[in-house]
Structure 1
Amino acid sequence: MTTDSATTSAAGESDGFETWLRGRVPERGLRSKGASVLEVLLTQPRRASYSSAAEAAELAGVNVATVSRTAQALGFSGWSDLQQELRARFLSSLSAPEVAAAQHTEGELGAASLRRDLESLAMLDRRFDEQQIRTIAEAIAQARRVLIVAHGSYASIGAALSHNVRLAGYDATLTYDADLANAVSRIEPGDVLVAISFWRLYQHTVTAAEEAHSRGARVFVLSDAASPDLAAAAEEVLLIPAEGVAFFPSLAPGLAVAQAIVAQLSTVDPERTRKSIEAAETQWSRFGLMHRQPRRG
């Protein structure tokens, strides 16, 4: 069996890949054929993360049913769910040029990007956990203050979330870069921190989550594959598909989850949200923000 040693080393060092995967093995262990599948995942993450269940079975010298049973033994609903997280963790070990090379996308990238987003949203729908969304929405509603941490292109997800949380009538602040340390220094028990990061993860985001957790705040994570350190600091980790087709991950599934959170938040105290939106609408009119004004009854 050929070992992708560079990939295994990089993934193991940067994102706890081997620790994560071995940590999902049940206490009773795996049967010999299941152990063969695990060995393929550990030693050939590149090939496995882009293989069908049949191809993974061939690599391991087992049948497709064994691949499915092994995925379930590792805590996934099946091969596709295991493969999605495996690929996210594999891609997080690569640089941007390496990600583009690993994708092997053919044809027009614009159309391929749209198709990938649709596939990711379908996967997100299959794995959607309403209780997680409800927990986060209720935590935001009860919080003294909500701090949302997001960097780079992911800041767009954080901006949408913070904007709509405020519109729903609750205090929320998006912070990043130099102001992050100052914002975290003011965190207290009763606060909520939402950490948003995908692909290789921003160290500042992990540090902020750890510090918030140590200060008694409730921490929630939106990520495609949270590192062990980030997951350890979080009350809930929402795993969101984020694979793109070029140099960067997709933002569409993350934005969809942010919208799901605020939609649920609006049901916690509908009267509060109604008053907040009405007050905002009044100021939009006062400042002349909208090109088209609503009809008055």
Structure 2
Amino acid sequence: MTEGTARDVETWLRARVPERGMRAKGAAVLEVLVTQPRRASYGSAAETAELAGVNVATVSRTAQLLGFSGWSELQQELRARYLASLSAPDVAAAHHTEGDPGSASLRRDLDSLAVLTRRLDTQLIRTVAEAIARARRTLIVAHGSYVAVGSALGHNARLAGYDAAVVRDDADLANSISRVEPGDVLVAISFWRLYQSTVTAAEEAHHRGARVFVLTDAASPALAGAAEQVVLIPAEGVGFFPSLVPGLAVAQAIAAHLSTVDPERTRRAVEAAEAQWSRFGLLHRTPRRG
């Protein structure tokens, strides 16, 4: 972890300390998180308690004092921030597993989906979907492999009858942001490493009066400051790569709710799209109308 990133982690953690401060034992736990983020990211609550010289209950109470439901939620975001500080080879080393990597990847995705199911506030899904439904236009910003998540959300939003565009090129992004107005929505999608252009787009869209939502694994202060809501999604993968599976699951959940906001609008949009699929001869077999 670089010195700058270490400062970022410390700033993030200390900003969550209540104004009334912390007692000595809680402060000891905080010091472990700040000074030994790797060990805290991968260790158990008991191991963190041993490093801090406290009991496990104190670790859990400290996590809650910092605004998390418990140790596992705090550890998830701490690990996401720690991994974001590493180079790709360092991430691969941190994720080294014995046995078949394909099986390990599948197990990791299953575990992440289970965590997502337990922790995600479904009201956030409704809020994002209903914002897209009310928007004049929705701009979805995604780069690198995260484009897969953005493309799924944009494709399904358009199919449901709403104006949504996915932007992955920085020049196109700058041009698109120049046309953002109040009544628009921007959805920023970023996992592991955060692109500066994503931050700039979120800040500028917010400044222009658009509603901004973020899908990410760690709430960057820059993104969180511009966003109305941040949807935290586990994204740790195996090897070099962050997992896209939980992010795609959230994109699908948003699209599923979006299709129920105005069912008649979505029905008309799907029928119109299917007519064009037939006109363009896109399908190997044309489905029969019921």
Q: TM-score, normalised by structure 2?
A: 0.97
Matches of 2:98 and 2:70, distance apart in 1:
27
Question: Contact conserved, 1:8 with 1:44, CA < 8 A, in 2?
Answer: no
Q: TM-score, normalised by structure 1?
A: 0.95
2:265 counterpart residue number: 272
RMSD, aligned α-carbons: 1.1
State yes or no: 1:132 paired with 2:124: yes
Deviations 1:8-39 (A, max 9, x none): 624235xx211111111111111111111100
Equivalent of residue 93 in structure 1, options 80, 85, 89: 85
Runs of 4+ in 1 over 6 A off after TM superposition: none
Matches of 1:246 and 1:8, distance apart in 2:
21
State yes or no: 1:168 paired with 2:160: yes
Equivalent positions of 1:19-58 (< 5 A) are: 19-58=11-50
User: Which letter maps to 1:46?
Assistant: R
Deviations 1:175-201 (A, max 9, x none): 122211100111111110000011111
* Identical positions, percent: 78
Query: Structure 2 regions of 5+ residues with no counterpart?
Result: none
Equivalent of residue 181 in structure 2, options 176, 188, 196: 188
1:3 counterpart residue number: none
Equivalent positions of 1:1-297 (< 5 A) are: 7=1, 9-12=3-6, 16-177=8-169, 178-297=171-290
Question: Contact conserved, 2:96 with 2:239, CA < 8 A, in 1?
Answer: no
Question: Contact conserved, 1:195 with 1:209, CA < 8 A, in 2?
Answer: yes
SS in 2 for 1:36: helix
Matches of 2:147 and 2:289, distance apart in 1:
36
Matches of 1:293 and 1:8, distance apart in 2:
56
SS in 2 for 1:267: helix
Deviations 1:25-54 (A, max 9, x none): 111111111111100000000010000111
Matches of 2:190 and 2:208, distance apart in 1:
21
Matches of 1:89 and 1:104, distance apart in 2:
18
User: Which letter maps to 2:218?
Assistant: A
Matches of 1:243 and 1:251, distance apart in 2:
9
Query: Structure 1 regions of 5+ residues with no counterpart?
Result: 1-6
Matches of 1:96 and 1:203, distance apart in 2:
18
User: Which letter maps to 2:175?
Assistant: N
* Count of matched residue pairs: 289
User: Which letter maps to 1:181?
Assistant: A
